[in-house]
Amino acid sequence: MSTQDQCCTIVPYFKISSGNLETFKSLCEQFVEKTSSEPKCLFYGFSFNEDVAHCREGYSDAEGVLNHLENVGALLGEALKIADLTRLEIHGPEGELAKLREPLAELNPSFFILEYGFRR
């Protein structure tokens, strides 16, 4: 591996059930507010394509990912009542992904191993 970058990104896509877009967006505001105080969160935000939402989020390391999921767990539960998690990717260096494989197994993510790159 030719990178020292420890950053981990979570790449979830949600299909929002009919009639629940505004409710989901209201939850997004709560997610952003709750996440804004996390010291290991590098960036966080929601993008939309009609009734599909994507959360663009990055953390300094695996610990930041786990802390985030603990912090927003109840909100995520609420979101999953009105939306399906259609795809979940976790990106990062293998050393950090190894710390996430077991704790995130029930979410059935695809893990992408960072092998080349840099961080400013």
Domains contained in the chain, CATH given: 8-113 (3.30.70.100)
Q: Alpha carbon of 21 to those of 70, 82, 98: distances in Å?
A: 24, 9, 35
What is the distance between the alpha carbons of residues 17 and 24, in angstroms, rounded to a whole number? 9
What is the distance between the alpha carbons of residues 35 and 45, in angstroms, rounded to a whole number? 10
Q: How does residue 3 score in pLDDT terms, banded at 50, 70 and 90?
A: low
* pLDDT attached to residue 107: 94
Contact between 10 and 56 under an 8 Å Cβ cutoff? The reply is no
pTM recorded for the entire structure: 0.93
* pLDDT attached to residue 70: 97
What is the distance between the alpha carbons of residues 85 and 81, in angstroms, rounded to a whole number? 10
Please give the torsion angle defined by the CA atoms of residues 102, 74, 29 and 66, in that order, rounded to the nearest 10 degrees.
-30
What is the distance between the alpha carbons of residues 40 and 59, in angstroms, rounded to a whole number? 5
* pLDDT attached to residue 2: 45
